[in-house]
Amino acid sequence: MSPYKGKSVLVTGASAGLGEEFALQLAKLGATHLVLTARRADRLEDLGGRLMSDYPDLRVETISTDLSDASVVTGIIEELNSRQFFPDILINNAGFGDLGTFETSDPATVETMLNLNVVALTRLTRWALPRMLENKKGWICNVGSTAGLIPLPTFAVYAATKAYVNSFSEAIRIELHGSGVHVTALCPGPVETEFGQVASRENSKRKFAPPAFLCVPKADVVRQTLQAMARDQGRIIPGILVRIPMLLAESTPRWFLRFFFNRMSGDFRKERAKAS
């Protein structure tokens, strides 16, 4: 029997990509109440309609909102409290990246990324956790990234936010050991989602285009993650071709990583020299 049968779920960033796939697969596995949040109302409503059509007994609520705004996060928490909705499963998926050197980044974009990738995730976890502890059961999946396993030039802020997510998840997992509440950090590599389009800056030659053989289908990422959550696995890096090199990179001495990136990532230095 699916451990997710009859459970209530909150999924952030649910209008596309991994968030949409989590909603689809959890519904198939027997979840009975989904609350889905994202910025794009039309996509959320379409997803909600499809889910309720396929699963007539499933209750789906959609909240179109921007979690990078602190006041909005406060409002959502107050609204969910008023509805007496406390999820058995929290999927903190909302987030985005920004590809390019830090010196050329847009300060507003950086602040938005920090608010969404770090602050909103932390606040929602803090809100959901007490009721899970009271019930002595719950699942929290925080979507980190393999980018958070190592310092990543031209993804400096994004990688740092995901390093926070990875570390935060590991730490609270230890705090919650034996409580019945399970925490899993999902650390995907390249996935077939809209991430690259969003991360790539307009009018920039630098585009996020990883080799196709490293890209893992989003359905496989979510399926492996839900299996890992059911086994109370602390971290999942989907895809063997991603997992092995990233585990090796994570254990590589920092001095060697600096040496490697200094030799392999010189294009932005050339751009800086040309601009000056």
d(C-alpha 198, C-alpha 208), whole Å: 9
- Among all chains, which residue has been given the structure tokens 């796939």? 21
Tokens of 256: 């060697």
pLDDT per position as a tens digit, 137-177: 999 999 999 999 999 999 999 999 999 999 999 999 999 99
Percent of the chain with pLDDT over 70: 96
How far, in Å, CA of 7 to CA of 33, rounded? 7
Looking at residue 266, its pLDDT comes to 66
List the domain boundaries for the chain.
Answer: 8-275
Tell me what percent of the residues of the chain surpass a pLDDT of 90: 83
pLDDT for res 147 = 94
DSSP H/E element including 141: strand 138-143
Residue 191 pairs in a beta bridge with 216
What does pLDDT average to over the chain?
Answer: 93
Domain 8-275 CATH class label: alpha beta
Residues linked to residue 143 through DSSP beta bridges, in sequence order: 186
Reported pTM: 0.92
Mean pLDDT of 62-80: 96
Q: Is the pLDDT at 220 greater than 80, yes or no? A: yes
Q: Which residue numbers are catalytic?
A: 158
